Structure 1
Amino acid sequence: MSNMPPYPQEGVQPQMQPQAASSNKNGLIIGCLIAAGVAIPVLLICGGVLVALLLPAVSASREAARRMQCSNNMKQIGLAFHNYHDVYRTFPPAYTVDEDGNRLHSWRSLILPFMEQQALHAQIDFSKPWDDPANRTVAQTAIPAYHCPSSPGDPLSSSYVAIVDPQGIMSGENGSQMQSVTDGISNTILLTEVDTSQAVPWMSPEDIDLATYLAVTASSQHNHPGGSNTLLADGSVRFVASEIDEETLKGMVTKDNGERAGF
């Protein structure tokens, strides 16, 4: 009968065979490496799929925010138009002219005091053209409220233009009184939004005519997918889709005896 006890004596640690311990350790390391080699590509693939799924949603959310800011810009301009009317009893003309009928300044310059830009307005020499050296400093000052945040164009350009038409509110060098808008101020267009191809220097007395407005509205070139923001004479902003009927738009531009139409 052996004198060896059947169990390890108390306080005596069993000795592991060095070779077996080393093999187990190496196997564990190899197993971990294999698992990592499988898991990392899977994680990368899943991460790529998630990013691809999230990007359109993030992009759409950002565009929605930019479109809202664009609408707010136009509402601020609409409020300025109404405050201008309260003071002068007329909306601003599309542009001012000199004695020879040459265009000097835009409505965008005329409403500056009502856009919290009194100091800038005071620097303008309205007796000289907008691009005269005397007005260069002002012309090179960006007005964020005149530029759509979705437009990649020059920040000194204006995304918002009037539709200059003899039958419209913005008919030229003469302003229109609110009571002359017999078609209803909630049915008559003051301004529209345009993309970079039609944008103008904000201080320039340039806008668009009715034919151009109809063409750009029907085109696929917009700052926002599917259409553009439009400012009505009551100060509200509506989104006009590219598919809108042409006759409806013509009726919306005229201020009196035009076809009453709504969005």
Structure 2
Amino acid sequence: MSNPVDPGNSANPYSETMPVEAQLASPKKSSTGCIIAVLGAGFLVTLMCGGVLLGLLLPAVQAAREAARRMQCSNNMKQIGLALHNYHSAYNQLPPAYTVDEDGNPLHSWRVAILPFLEQQALYNQIDLSKPWDAPENASVASTLVPTYACPSKEGDPLMTNYVAVVDPAGVFAGAIPTKFSQITDGLANTIMIVETGHENAVHWMSPDEIDLATLLAAGGSDPHVGGGHMLMADGAVKFITNSIDPVVLEGMVTKDGQEDLGDF
């Protein structure tokens, strides 16, 4: 009979017992956790980059939108200028700043008078010109939007307009008294007809309320757009005037016969 295996025999392969952990097959390491970590890091990087790009692009997008609104506003004023010139051609005078009743009470704005020259004849025909603009007889028209009178940058009630006349005895619009181009001796290109005032001075498009020279000068120009606003000159040209304009120059642009030397404004 053979002798049992001697545990102390160095030739015995089981003489040095391996730890149990080492005897078991090692599990394969899962790559799922690594993939999730990599994807998560990539997502965070993408979010961060997207945020940076959005921060860079947003001001540019806003500036582009305002530029488009400013161009549309300029086109509105050009249409108004053309309508005023066509009115002058038809009646040999500009409309008064506002019409009045027999007692001198203001009734309607110049914006009402030029409606037929803005392709709004049908709307004009609905107005009772003998009654105030806000009379019950004119309520339907007063609630109607005229797109040409709406600055796209203006917020709030779309029936309120920024396009107003500067009512002044020395200006193109001297209240209820109409003016002829021949009376503008400073030159049509140097004289303001209509200004785009700040939103705080907006009026209903039918209302005979306008703006006077003192209010215009106190505002330092107009600010419906960044840095200033548009002004319609008597020759029909539209200019963008900054808020930093010299009040003396601005006053000279309003008067029609002061013989001011405005220079390059």
- Measured in 1, the distance between the counterparts of 2:197 and 2:28 equals 74
1:153–1:196 Cα contact (<8 Å) kept: no
* Structure showing greater Rg: 2
- Measured in 1, the distance between the counterparts of 2:156 and 2:257 equals 35
Letter in 2 for 1:256: D
1:85–1:91 Cα contact (<8 Å) kept: yes
Once the two structures are superposed, the pairs formed by residues 107-122 of structure 1 within 5 Å of their partners are: 107-122=110-125
1:151–1:195 Cα contact (<8 Å) kept: no
Identity %, equivalent residues: 56
Q: CA deviation at 1:31?
A: 2.0
2:192–2:234 Cα contact (<8 Å) kept: yes
Q: CA deviation at 1:23?
A: 2.0
Q: CA deviation at 1:260?
A: 3.3
Letter in 2 for 1:53: L
Name 1:196's counterpart in structure 2: 199
Tell me whether 1:67 sits opposite 2:70 in the alignment.
yes
SS at match of 2:193: strand
1:188–1:233 Cα contact (<8 Å) kept: yes
Name 1:140's counterpart in structure 2: 143
SS at match of 2:51: helix
- Measured in 2, the distance between the counterparts of 1:23 and 1:83 equals 89
- Measured in 1, the distance between the counterparts of 2:231 and 2:261 equals 17
SS at match of 2:200: coil
Q: Say which of 100, 105, 109 aligns to 2:103.
A: 100
Name 1:238's counterpart in structure 2: 239
- Measured in 1, the distance between the counterparts of 2:261 and 2:128 equals 40
The two structures have a TM-score, normalised by structure 1, of 0.88
Letter in 2 for 1:73: N
- Measured in 2, the distance between the counterparts of 1:211 and 1:74 equals 23
Letter in 2 for 1:96: T
SS at match of 2:199: coil
SS at match of 1:113: helix
- Measured in 2, the distance between the counterparts of 1:226 and 1:196 equals 14
Cα-Cα RMSD: 1.4
SS at match of 2:76: helix
- Measured in 1, the distance between the counterparts of 2:45 and 2:94 equals 64
Once the two structures are superposed, the pairs formed by residues 111-190 of structure 1 within 5 Å of their partners are: 111-190=114-193
- Measured in 1, the distance between the counterparts of 2:219 and 2:158 equals 21
Q: CA deviation at 1:175?
A: 1.1
1:217–1:228 Cα contact (<8 Å) kept: no
Letter in 1 for 2:173: M
The two structures have a TM-score, normalised by structure 2, of 0.87
- Measured in 2, the distance between the counterparts of 1:183 and 1:142 equals 35
Name 1:3's counterpart in structure 2: none
- Measured in 2, the distance between the counterparts of 1:255 and 1:234 equals 12
- Measured in 1, the distance between the counterparts of 2:249 and 2:64 equals 31
Name 2:228's counterpart in structure 1: 227
2:150–2:161 Cα contact (<8 Å) kept: yes
1:252–1:260 Cα contact (<8 Å) kept: no
Letter in 1 for 2:228: G
Unaligned runs of 5+ in 2: 1-24
Q: Deviations over 1:186-222 (max 9, x none)?
A: 000001012221000110001010000111235xx72
Structure 1 stretches (4+) deviating beyond 4 angstroms?
Answer: none
- Measured in 1, the distance between the counterparts of 2:85 and 2:219 equals 27
Tell me whether 1:254 sits opposite 2:259 in the alignment.
no
- Measured in 2, the distance between the counterparts of 1:216 and 1:119 equals 37
Of residues 252-261 and 183-192 in structure 1, the stretch that sits farther from structure 2 once superposed is: 252-261
2:223–2:243 Cα contact (<8 Å) kept: no
Q: Say which of 53, 56, 78 aligns to 2:56.
A: 53
SS at match of 1:151: coil
- Measured in 1, the distance between the counterparts of 2:219 and 2:118 equals 27
